[in-house]
Structure 1
Amino acid sequence: MARRVSADIAALRHLDAYVVSALALVFAVVTVLSDAISVDLRWAVALAGLGVLVYRTTAPKPDVTIDQLLQDRQGFEAAPAAARLRKAREVWLFAPTGINFLSEENLAALRAGPMSRPDGSLRVMVLDPANEAAMTLAVRQLDDSITYPLQEFGACHRQVVQRLEAIANTWPKTGTFEYRYLDYNPGFSLVAIDPTGKQGRVIVEFHGFRNEATSSRMHFELGTSDSRRWFLYWTNQFEQMWAAARSPD
């Protein structure tokens, strides 16, 4: 119970109920020990508690289906990435190439977002171009298993590496920027927006096997208020991968 309450408070859930419950408990203890609290004040706390209970019985309950939680890329068009990135302070990315995320539109948003803030941070990981085995396997995973391919892994990877080098070496930046190379494709891509903040979001895409197109891959998005356990799981996945990745030469 204590763990659940701590998780709710950390995620700013059910604060009204916890405040009223705490007041009721304090007043109950004080009432037992003394008569210092007036009858009117006791009734006020009791009615407040009753009001919270009644409100919770009438408040609309979120009814999220599994199909609403698990979507393809088109399911996230309602919240375009560029608009979210402009408001972000911290962004993490892992993808084998990251070509779709590191588009010109999103890079412009990142320039206006985390890279323009003194406390802003952008961390990017892609597959290691020096690891031939990982690169060869990625072609099989990401090119050969797509029924209707539109992009070629090697060309996309080279283009992204050029963009990362340009960002690191020539772009003026107020925030910090780092990129690394990972020698292993774990089978998913991951984007975290403000992962250390209270309103953090994590988006995970599974590469799967023999997709019709890259846009048909399954995605899901989590916030700290959705599931703190799994939100921390995925942010920890990124941190573990980051620690295992190498910095560019």
Structure 2
Amino acid sequence: MHLNRTLRHIKADFLHLRNIEAYAAAAVAAVLAPLAIIGDLVPVNVQWAALLAGVAVIVYRSAVPLGSPSQFDELAGDRDSFHGLPLRERWHNAREVWIFAPSAVNLLNSQHCDILRREVLSHADSVVRVIVLDPTNPAAIELAAHQLDDSLDYPMQEFAESLRTSVRQLGLMSKWQVAGSFEYGFIDYNPGFSLVVTDASRRSASLVVEFHAFHNETTHSRMHLELTPNTSERWFPYWVSQFDHIWERARKPETADSPFAEGMRDQSSDSTTGGD
């Protein structure tokens, strides 16, 4: 088990071009050491060169830390780093896009929806699934507004209004005449994160999970993790399964068409702004 874990770690390092100099020095030492023991097969100057190279790598790595924090920072970031790879590129040639967020208003703007229509749903084998908070659950909306709006220093959106906007947009998208399959549903509470999964069952699979946390300066300050099967064989399927569980629990529109607008009209809009 430990050997497998070590091999996976080495594989991940090579895929992300990490610690290459250390592996190179170790490989040279592994080759030269037994030859040097046998006798004069390796010239002395070559042995010294290999030794000095190994010492140089050790000194360099002690002076310039290359450990876990920098590797972790490659996976984690705020929304600005997420936008470093636009959704147009993330969803190019995608066949599966799964979205969960309390309102998903930022993911369901006109530009992103048009990308879903043209880049994903234009294919017959494509599936887009979107889950947002249940618009007919007053208690859940009030709590989510408190979690998401009141936790920001500089709010830009109001959660209740953002959810209304998304519900209307989902209704419009459900009427699109597209080749692929578009589905959506509603969950009865906010679990504290948002999730975007792309091509979960394909080799190009990736996902982004964003944590809402307790306090943020703005919504852009929230931490997210970006994972692929290569970066984590354990946590990538874990977060994919989180979406699966949410989808199974979500209330689907065929059982909730009529209450949409009525449920939203009953909600108060007295929360200070924020949104998700």
**TM-score grouping bracket, smaller chain normalisation:** 0.7 to 0.9
After TM superposition, the structure 1 stretch with the greater mean CA deviation from structure 2, 65-74 or 239-248, is: 65-74
1:39-90, Cα deviation, whole Å (9 max, x unpaired): xxxxxxxxxxxxxxxxxxxxxxx97532232210011232111222232110
CA contact under 8 A between 2:128 and 2:183: conserved in structure 1? yes
Q: Distance in 1 between matches of 2:12 and 2:96?
A: 21
CA contact under 8 A between 2:12 and 2:231: conserved in structure 1? no
Q: Does 1:121 align with 2:114?
A: no
CA RMSD of aligned residues (A): 2.6
AA aligned to 1:244 is: R
Query: What secondary structure sits across from 1:65 in the alignment?
Result: helix
Percent identical among aligned pairs is 44
Shift of 1:192: 0.2
Q: Distance in 1 between matches of 2:178 and 2:203?
A: 25
CA contact under 8 A between 2:79 and 2:220: conserved in structure 1? yes
1:94-148, Cα deviation, whole Å (9 max, x unpaired): 0000011112111111111221101000000000011111110000011111110
Shift of 1:160: 0.5
AA aligned to 2:213 is: G
Shift of 1:13: 10
1:190-212, Cα deviation, whole Å (9 max, x unpaired): 00010111120010000011210
The aligned counterpart of 2:202 is 197
Query: What secondary structure sits across from 2:234 in the alignment?
Result: helix
TM-score normalised by L of structure 2: 0.67
Q: Distance in 1 between matches of 2:3 and 2:235?
A: 15
| Residues 112, 139 of structure 1: alpha-carbon distance in 2 compared, 3 angstrom cutoff | same
AA aligned to 2:137 is: N
Give runs of aligned pairs for residues 22-37 of structure 1, distance below 5 A: none
**How many pairs align?**
201
Query: What secondary structure sits across from 1:144 in the alignment?
Result: coil
Q: Does 1:135 align with 2:150?
A: no
Q: Distance in 2 between matches of 1:243 and 1:225?
A: 27
1:177-199, Cα deviation, whole Å (9 max, x unpaired): 10000001100000001011112
AA aligned to 1:164 is: L
The aligned counterpart of 1:209 is 214
Q: Distance in 2 between matches of 1:198 and 1:186?
A: 28
The aligned counterpart of 2:239 is 234
Q: Distance in 2 between matches of 1:132 and 1:122?
A: 27
Q: Distance in 2 between matches of 1:141 and 1:87?
A: 35
Give runs of aligned pairs for residues 130-169 of structure 1, distance below 5 A: 130-169=136-175
CA contact under 8 A between 1:69 and 1:221: conserved in structure 2? yes
After TM superposition, the structure 1 stretch with the greater mean CA deviation from structure 2, 121-130 or 97-106, is: 97-106
Shift of 1:213: 0.2
Q: Distance in 2 between matches of 1:156 and 1:147?
A: 18
Long gaps (5+) in structure 2? 15-65, 257-276
Query: What secondary structure sits across from 1:113 in the alignment?
Result: helix
AA aligned to 2:233 is: R
